[in-house]
């Protein structure tokens, strides 16, 4: 009898805990982020930069695309960095998917046969991808999360469990003018001009094909 009673108590406790559990964060890359954050959203999306200290033209923010990043040393792979469409001017990777914390830009027709893979993102680095010939078993680090944001219609991109350390900065690398998304912008970095950086958050905007 006593055993049954405590079993019932246990059952009641776990039932009442369930609704809270079901909205918790999913995935280690979402640890510490609000309930409802997920490393595998059910939708594909584009990214948009939202000023956190300057006025915004609208609530979505400025569209982001992939543009050329730092010049690399490998002939097999090139680095593409998340850039503003306003600065870069073309959109060869029209949308993203996020799966288990790995963020995949999806190639458009101009990039067919190629894939873009994320990497462990160090402080001070552009949010960038290695673009190379499609691999059957690529090693793609899990570092990203779609962080829930109750104050906004959009989830926010997080990297390294952090949504609040992105900036847009003028690049100094490309042959063309570019403005790139940087994680924990560093005053000493030579690939962008720190004096031009301003803080943004990155909206995850559901993509409709």
Residues binding ligand NAG (CB under 6 A): 43-44, 49, 51, 54-58, 60-63, 90-92, 97, 106, 108, 110, 168, 186-188, 200
Based on CB atoms, which residue is closest to ligand NAG, 74 or 175?
175
Based on CB atoms, which residue is closest to ligand NAG, 106 or 148?
106
Least separation in angstroms between residue 3's CB and ligand NAG is 47
Based on CB atoms, which residue is closest to ligand NAG, 14 or 110?
110
Which whole-number Å values give the CA distances from 25 to 18, 21, 161, in the listed order?
Answer: 14, 9, 11
Least separation in angstroms between residue 41's CB and ligand NAG is 9
What is the distance of C-alpha 68 from the center of its chain? 17
Query: On the CB side of 132, how many CA atoms lie within 13 Å of its CA?
Result: 15
Least separation in angstroms between residue 209's CB and ligand NAG is 7
Dist. CA 209–CA 198, nearest whole Å: 31
Least separation in angstroms between residue 82's CB and ligand NAG is 12
Q: Classify the phi-psi angles of 139: left when phi > 0, otherwise alpha if psi is within -120 to 50, otherwise beta.
A: beta
Length of the chain: 209
Based on CB atoms, which residue is closest to ligand NAG, 3 or 42?
42
């Amino acid at each position: 009898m006593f055993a049954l009673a405590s079993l019932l108590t246990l059952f009641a406790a776990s039932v009442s805990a369930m609704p809270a559990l079901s909205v918790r964060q999913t995935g280690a890359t979402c640890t510490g982020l609000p309930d409802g954050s997920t490393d595998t959203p059910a939708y594909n999306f584009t990214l948009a930069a939202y000023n956190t200290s300057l006025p915004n033209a609208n609530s979505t923010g400025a569209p982001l695309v992939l543009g050329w990043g730092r010049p690399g040393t490998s002939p097999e792979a090139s680095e593409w960095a998340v850039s503003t469409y306003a600065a870069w001017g073309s959109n060869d990777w029209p949308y993203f998917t996020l799966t288990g914390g790995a963020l995949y830009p999806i190639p458009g027709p101009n990039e067919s046969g190629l894939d873009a893979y994320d990497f462990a993102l160090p402080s001070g680095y552009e949010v960038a991808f290695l673009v190379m010939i499609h691999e059957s078993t690529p090693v793609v680090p899990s570092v990203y999360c779609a962080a829930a944001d109750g104050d906004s219609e959009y989830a926010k991109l997080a990297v390294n469990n952090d949504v609040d350390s992105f900036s847009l900065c003028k690049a100094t690398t490309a042959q063309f003018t570019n403005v790139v998304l940087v994680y924990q912008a560093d005053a000493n970095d030579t690939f962008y001009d720190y004096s031009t950086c301003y803080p943004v958050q990155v909206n995850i905007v559901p993509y409709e094909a």
